[in-house]
Each structure stands twice: as C-alpha cells, then as structure tokens.
Structure 1
Amino acid sequence: MPRGQNTLGITADDDFPKPGTKHVDEACSKSVGVHTVATPESLRGMAEDELKKLEKRMVRKVDFVILPIMTILYILNFVDRSALAASKVYGITKDLNMSEHDFATAISILFVGYIPFQIPSNLLITKISRPGLYICSAACIWGCVSAATAAVQSYRSLLAVRVFLGVTEAVFFPGVIYFLSAWYTKSELGKRLAGLFMAQMVGSAFGGFVAAACLTLDGRHGIAGWRWLFMVEGVVTVGCGILFALVMPEYPHNARLLSLVERDYAVWRLEKEAGAGEAHENTTTRQGFFLAVKDPKIWALVWCMFMSQAIGSSVNFFPSIVQTLGYGKDEALLLTAPPYLLAALVFVGASWASDRYNAIYSMIVGSLGIGVLAYIISLATLNTAARYFAMMLMPTAVTLPQIMVYKTLNLHMARPYPKRSAGTAMINSLGGLSNLWASYLWYAPPHYYAAFGCLLACVAVFFVTITAYRWHVRHLNKLLGGTPEQQGRAMKSGATQQQIYLGWRYIGY
C-alpha cells in the first residue's frame, strides 16, 4: 500500500483536513472504488458544527409540517374505520337487520378491498414525484366513501361501501410508513413511527368521544345517530385532505419546503447511512418487488404482522367488550378511551428507549409479555375490575409490536428503496389477512373464550418467530464483519456492497 493511503483509497496528503478542523469535503466522503456517497457541492467546506445546525433546522422544519399532517390524517383514518364498531352500540345492526355473524362480516370485508391494493399502491408511490399529494388525495376519497355509509339502507349495501372504503384506505398507512422512511434516519425514524401509532391510539380514544357526541344527534331531522356519525367524520376527513394537499412536501430531493442546501443535506445524510436513496437509485419498481418477495426476512416479518393483526382484532370489538362489563351505551363508548391513552403514553417511553439504545427485540418481547397477562386475566375471570384492567393493557400489547415490526423492515431492508416500499406494503397487506378470519372469533360474550384463547396462541407464535429472526440477523452481522467470502454470503441475504463498505449492520436485535 502506498505511503499515506488507507484501505478506502483516501490519500493522506497536505490537503487532507487536520485533526480539529472537522470540515466536510470530497475527501471525507465515504467511498470505495465506485461505491461512493459523494459530498454535495453545496456542503463542501462546511464545519461540523455548521452541519449540525443545518440538520437541526432542517429536521425541525420537516417535523413541523409532515408530522402534524400525518398525525391528523391517521387519526381521521382510524376514526373513519372504527366508526362501525361504535355504531353497533347505537343500533346499526337492528336498523339493517344484521346478525352477529353479519356484523363480523361487515367488519372483516373492509380488508377484501384494503389488502390487495396496498402493494400496487406502494409500488406506484415510488414513481410519483408528489407522494404527499397522492396520500392527501386518497384521504379525500376515503372521506367521501365513509360519509356514504350514512346512506346505506341494507346489509348488502353496507358490505359494498365497506369494500370500497378498504380500497381507498389502502393507500394511506403503507404509503405513510414508506414516506417517513424516505425523510428520517435510523436514529429518528422510531420516534416518528411511534408518533404515528400514538395518533392511532389518540384516534381510537378520540373516536369514542366523537361517537358519543355524534350519537347524541340520534333522531335529529329523522336521521339515526349512527348515520350522523358517518356523515360528520366523512366531511371532516374530506376537508382536511383538501387543505393538507396544498402544503404537503415531496421527497427530500425535490421538496419545496426546503432550501437547496437543506435538500442536499437531507439526501446526503440518508445515503451516508444506508446507501443510494430516492434521489440516486437505479433499481426499478419491478426489481424491488421481486427482491422483496425473495427475501425470507420480509416473510418472517409478514408472519409476525399476521399474528399481531389477529391480536389486534379486539380493537374492532372494543366497545362491545366494554359493554359486557355491565355499562350503558354512553359509558361503554367513553370507557374505550383510557386504554388507548395509556398505550400512547407507553409509546413515548418505548420509542425514546428504542432509538436511544437500538432496542427493538426487547420492546417486542416486553409488549408480548403484557399481552399474555391481559389475555390470561380475560380468560380467567369476569370480575369487572380485573377485566377492565386487562383491557387497559390490550392496546399496548397490540400496537407496540407492530411499530417495531415496521421499524425493523425500514432499517433492515432500507436499500434499495423500491424493495423497502414493496416490503412495507407486503407486511401491512399480507399481515392484514388475519383480519378476514379473526373477526369471527368474537362470539359467545361475555367470556369470549375462543377469541382470547386464540389471541394467547398468536402471542406465542409471534414470540417464536421474532426470536428466530433475531438469531438470523445476528448471524448475518457476524458475516458482515467477517472475510470477503462471508460478506458475500451476507449479500445473498439482502445487504448491498455499498452498505458493506459503509459498515452497515442489522441493528436492534
């Protein structure tokens, strides 16, 4: 090796920054041969403290625009979707002559439209220059469909509307997960995903209050309270979708929200971490999809989500479960709020710890343990205090593992980005297939033996699967730090050559 030249091919000559200078220039770019993350022209010569100030300003600007919009839309998304559960308490089954089996079908049939459209939608979003506009437009459409539920006059028409609601909502959640991962680094993404799921919890809690308020209009102008519920929620969603479409940013490399220097830095910091990103990616959408399908790690996460979505079926019946404790209609709706608010508080601490300590597996196992406690109590007793205590734990046991599964995919399969997008949609869509059958578990109240017993089994299967996944990625990390031959074996499991040069690893496990 020539004197002064390191293994990365960077020559230590008189022009190289001396210790203490800490400037960013082309020589400091992480590179190996053609595998280069070049420093943008606009950032060369900037001191390290200047870059930190630039990053802080850029991230704050993005947070103040993207996160509030996504949070509000997600609250509305969940409120619109969960409105049917609240409407059962106020007589939709009686008005439409529905049996318990019919109601379970109305809940699950939403996923007939929701599941198959997620993967095509997330592949499409990678080709759209304005993904924010795409997501907000979808919100307007699903708001219209949700409002149309107020006009149904029969069980069959309700099923038709629910299918279309699933189709229109398919855009939102996997699209938002992908969109956020295109903006935030691995040390930032967990807190933002947790914030998104906190919005789900707030939406679930807020939904109970909104439902209780709307249902007080029961009989006004000859319209049933549950019809008012769908109309009010649908109109609010459409209005917010139109407003947010005007201000939502695009990808970092073409966001009008940022200055040119901020755009360059937003792209550069992501590519330094995981390789070529949205601005400099040559993998096609089709190639990314096939890469995702061939990766067994993604299928393991799909299976984990399948178990988690089955566990989450309790959310669709929460007001009915609370009502079995002996409470009236209004009390049942209002008592659905505290469990979700508790889950939101747990997410604050869990997301902070996950990002700070790179802890994903431990968060999943801890929340699964909470689920075991909740479902054993529910199976063992009908005591009101004990049963409600168990219900306080259920949203945390349901949702925290889902956050960590999404975080795992977006960190472990970060590049190429079409693969990440397809993988996110696979997890959410194929994992959501359990919603097609889990709704039929909730019969024979108040015991619900079949439901709680099945959920307990799903927790056990989830634990075994994620533990096997942990063993696998830890093995891959050893290969990534080994000989070139071992690194080649790791590349067959999804790591790219550029990531190996950047010292990238599967973290959190």
Structure 2
Amino acid sequence: MAEPLPTEKMANSPEKPFANLDGRQASVSNSDVGVTTVVDLVDADEALAFLTSHPNATEIAIQGNAILDDPKQLKKLIRKIDFTIAPLLAAVYFLQFLDKTTLSYTAVMGIRKDTHLVGQDYSDLSMLFYIGFLAAEFPTQYLAQHISRLGLYLGTNIMLWGLILGCHAACTSFAGLAICRTLLGVFESCVAPILVLIIAMWYKKEEQGRRVSWFYVCNSLTQIFGGLLAYGVSFAKTDFASWRIFFVAIGAMTMVIGLLVCIFLPDSPVKAKRFSDVEKVAALLRTKDNQSGTQNAHLKKAQVLETFKDPRVYLVCLCTLLSSIPNGGLSNFSSILLTTFGYSSREALLMSAPGGAVGVICVLGVGYLSDKWRDRSSVMLICILPTILGAGLMIGLDPNGVPKNRAGLLAASFLTGTFGAAFMLLLAWNASNIAGHSKKVTINALTLVSFATGNILGTQTFQAKEAPGYISGKISIIATLGALCFVVLVLRWWNDMLNKKNKVALEGMSEGEKEEMREKMAFADQTDRKNPFFVYTH
C-alpha cells in the first residue's frame, strides 16, 4: 500500500482533524518557492481559529466532510447558502442603483423646475453623489474590516441612505439637493466592496461570476421598476409634487431593506447564525481551494503596501475608470436622451423598461458564460462591443440633436445597456483574483474610487450647452470603451503570465510537499502574490 501523503495522515488524526490547515504547524521549507505561513492565529483567517479551536473538532470534521461527500447534502447546503445570501444582496444592489438614479427619473418629472436648476446644475448634482462616494470609500472599507460585522455595518448604512433619500423630497433649491446627493454617495460607498467580499467568502471561483450577476442584474431591473414606478407616480393628482412622492416612497422602502440586512445577512460563514457548526465547516472546506479565505479583522500594512505595488491593481482600476465614464453619463442622462429622440417625458419613463430587460438578459448571460468558460475577459469584450455600436448609431442617426430615425435611435439606446455587465465582471475578477483580506479590502476600495472618479467624469461629458445632441457624451462612450477592450486584453495576459510563474516556482517540490503546503496556505490569510498555489482567473 502506498504511503499516505502528510496531509492525509493529519486529516485522519482524531485529535486534530484540521491540523493539515494549521499554518503554525511544522511546514515544508523550500527556498526556491519562498512560501510563508502564519505563526499566530491573530494573523490567520478567522476560519482557521474556528476550525482548530472548536471543542468538538473531531465530530464536526467527520460530519462536515460527510456533507461534501454526499451530492444531495452538498446541493442542499449550496441552496441554503444561495437563499440566505443572494436575495439580500440582490435587494441591496437593487436599491443602491435605484436610489442613485432617482435623479434621472425625477429630471423628467419636474424636479429641475421646482428646485430652480439651471445650466450645469443637474450635471453637478449627478457629480456630487460620486464626490461623496469617492471621499468615503477608503474610510468606510477599513472601518468595515475593523468592525468585522459586515451585515450590521452594511444594513446601518442602507437605513441612513434611505433616510437621506427621503430628505430629497423636502429640497427646494440646488443647495439642499447638493447636500443630500453628497451624503447619499457617502453612505452608498460601502456596498459593492462588501458584496464582493461576501461572494468571495461563500463561493468557489467557478461559481462567483454567476453569483455576482445575481445581484448586479438588479441594475437593469431598477430600470424596469424605476421607470414604471416613475411613470405611474407622474399621474398623481396632489399638491405634493410627484417627484417628491417618488423620493419618499423609495426612501421608506430602502430603510425597511436596511433593517432586514441588519437582522438576516451573516457577516461570514463562521458567524452565520442560521448555519450549524457542521454546515459552517462544510462551507469553509468547500471553498478552501480558492486559497483566499474569509476574513481577518486586523489591518495588515504589508498587504496594503503590496496592493499598491501590484501592477494588476492599476490595470483593474483603469478598466473600472474606463467602464465608469459611460456609466456616469448614461445612468443620469438616459431619460433625457430619450426625450431628445422625440419621445415625451412620460414615454421616456416608460421606455426605460425594455432597456432594462436588455440589461437583465445581458448580465445573467454574461455571468453564466464567464463561470462556464472560466473566462472573464473574453466575455467582457462580448458585452462591450454592442454599446460601442449603439453609441455610434446615436451619433449617426441623431446629428446635432435632429433625430432622423426615432425607432433606430431607440434600438441604439437599448444596445448601450449591454456594457454594464463589464463592471460586473470586474467585480467578479476581484473576487476570484485577489487573496489576503487587507489586500482585498484595499483593492475593492481602489476599484470603487476608480468607479466614482469615472462616473464624475462621465456626468461632465454631457454638457448642457450641447443639448439636445450631447455629441461629446456619445463620443466619450466610444473612446473609453474602445480603450477598455485593449486594457482587458493586457490584464488577461498578465494573469496568465502569473499562473505560469507560479507553476515554475513549484517545480522543485514533491507532490506530497505541494499538497501539505497548499492545505496550510488555504486559511493563512496570505496574499495571492505570496501564495504560489493561487490560480488567477483570466
């Protein structure tokens, strides 16, 4: 009989069933690889402390592995994770996108007249949301890491921004709206990075693209819901302006969802109250091959510094910036553009629904394909190209704001809804390609800083003086997305290069040594660049 590998010996030890995952144990040393493991549980992922310190470690190890070995039980566990996580994440993202785009709907409901907005005031209000977002991004992410209660922290922020959204209804001037928009950006800034962290904790890499699409698709669903709701509210016959009713209704709904998130969204697999200890173990062991862990509440300066030294980080940020410039323009001017094509204000609100449907199909399809093919970059290119075509058609069919073909322009506006899936894939890329909790927090913050910066620039590409043609805004869409295609290909090449480098680095180790070290690195809270077993998704 063949001699069992070191990991098999430790895994079969009844006294210490998780010893093979403990980086504090004696480990293989190989100077050519340069692998480091943890020396203290404080430095490790919280999952390691849970697994190695549990009083009933032997029992839960046996039962947890039994779940993983039984396809029916495993499917049941994944379904439980999905129903616990996905609906809340979807609701949060639905409201985040709806809340920040309420200004676009109310722009054709009378808010500009009632609050005396002139010239660039509307574009400036759109920009101020992202100014607040940008200023708060780093502080809010590091605060969330320190508190390590992601569900509670996220839910509290949601309730606060719901309150701020309701306050929009009381505004009578640019100044009041400016304060509200800035604060709205501050409280919404925590959402996407926290959602990415949660997806990375609970799901395998090959499952993450589809799960990210489940909440990101809500961007498109809000176009359907928001447009139809705004259309219905526009018929309200009261002394209270319809746009004010819209803000109050959406704000109240947001606060309710925030409360539900505080109560029901688990902070991590280790802290999930609805899951038994056995289910927690199964969930953790199921994703250990990601080599990215769950959480660590301690900010590690070395990981933060590594983030700023990693060239891929800047490529991801550049991709985010380039994809966000069109978003900043289209998300705030989509309804206005439809009126320039010859549709009435109410028709413009109604036309948001089919555009949202196009986005739904694109996002879900892209999420599915990126997991099935295990290829983010190729799928990203597929969803960018139709938007470039749509922007070109809007220029050709609407020269100088004189529409030549209203139906063609409507179809072109629907095509511009496909590019949103590119940012969704960038979020999935971060979830799959970054390890080390402090590094994940830092790159997620940098990504969202780039997102906010791009959106700020995007709101200014649509100049009031160029109405109704808005030629600069349409040209910027083609230019930025064309550049994005090139950068995506560079990032794909870089990830492939790092995978080859890791394979070469491991060539000096035996299979037994590789397996032992791979297990120890799973919950060591090491960065992807410090872990030669980490596999990058291209």
TM-score range, shorter chain: 0.7 to 0.9
Structure 1 residues 18-97: aligned runs within 5 Å: 33=28, 41=58, 42-44=60-62, 46-47=65-66, 50-97=69-116
Pair 1:344–1:178, CA change in 2 (3 A):
same
Between the aligned partners of 1:307 and 1:381, the Cα distance in structure 2 is: 25
CA contact (8 A) 2:145 2:299 kept: no
Aligned residue in 2 for 1:304: 319
Aligned residue in 1 for 2:32: none
Deviation at 1:48, TM superposition (A): 7.3
1:427 to 447, 450, 467: 447
2:494 to 440, 464, 472: 472
Pair 1:86–1:130, CA change in 2 (3 A):
same
Count of matched residue pairs: 484
Deviation at 1:56, TM superposition (A): 2.1
Deviation at 1:275, TM superposition (A): 4.8
CA contact (8 A) 1:43 1:261 kept: yes
Aligned residue in 2 for 1:22: none
Between the aligned partners of 1:30 and 1:354, the Cα distance in structure 2 is: 33
Deviation at 1:217, TM superposition (A): 2.2
Between the aligned partners of 1:53 and 1:294, the Cα distance in structure 2 is: 44
1:460 to 472, 482, 491: 482
Q: Please state if 1:268 is matched with 2:285.
A: yes
Structure 2 unmatched ranges of 5 or more: 29-35, 39-47, 399-404, 510-520
Between the aligned partners of 1:197 and 1:161, the Cα distance in structure 2 is: 25
Aligned residue in 2 for 1:437: 457
Structure 1 residues 344-355: aligned runs within 5 Å: 344-355=360-371
CA contact (8 A) 1:80 1:146 kept: yes
CA contact (8 A) 2:335 2:349 kept: yes
Structure 1 residues 248-397: aligned runs within 5 Å: 248-278=265-295, 281=296, 284-312=299-327, 313-382=329-398, 383-397=405-419
Between the aligned partners of 1:92 and 1:202, the Cα distance in structure 2 is: 23
- Alpha-carbon displacement from aligned partner over 1:394-418 (angstroms, at most 9, x marks no partner): 1112x111011111111111x1122
What secondary structure sits across from 1:108 in the alignment?
helix
What secondary structure sits across from 1:182 in the alignment?
helix
2:253 to 216, 219, 236: 236
Between the aligned partners of 1:282 and 1:480, the Cα distance in structure 2 is: 28
Pair 1:43–1:496, CA change in 2 (3 A):
farther
Deviates more, 1:25-34 or 1:230-239: 25-34
Aligned residue in 1 for 2:234: 215
Between the aligned partners of 1:477 and 1:420, the Cα distance in structure 2 is: 19
Q: Please state if 1:410 is matched with 2:431.
A: yes
Structure 1 residues 144-183: aligned runs within 5 Å: 144-183=163-202
Between the aligned partners of 1:217 and 1:253, the Cα distance in structure 2 is: 49
Between the aligned partners of 1:148 and 1:215, the Cα distance in structure 2 is: 19
- Alpha-carbon displacement from aligned partner over 1:178-212 (angstroms, at most 9, x marks no partner): 22222222122111110111111101221111112
CA contact (8 A) 1:310 1:455 kept: yes
Amino acid of the structure 1 residue aligned with 2:392: I
CA contact (8 A) 1:298 1:409 kept: no
Pair 1:49–1:144, CA change in 2 (3 A):
closer
What secondary structure sits across from 2:202 in the alignment?
coil
Deviation at 1:137, TM superposition (A): 1.2
Aligned residue in 1 for 2:512: none
Deviation at 1:276, TM superposition (A): 4.2
Query: What RMSD in Å do the two structures reach over aligned CA positions?
Result: 2.9
Pair 1:367–1:91, CA change in 2 (3 A):
same
1:401 to 407, 418, 422: 422
Amino acid of the structure 1 residue aligned with 2:242: G
Amino acid of the structure 2 residue aligned with 1:393: L
Deviation at 1:58, TM superposition (A): 2.2
Aligned residue in 1 for 2:473: 451
Between 1 and 2, higher relative CO (CA 8 Å, sep ≥ 6) is seen in 2
What secondary structure sits across from 1:44 in the alignment?
helix
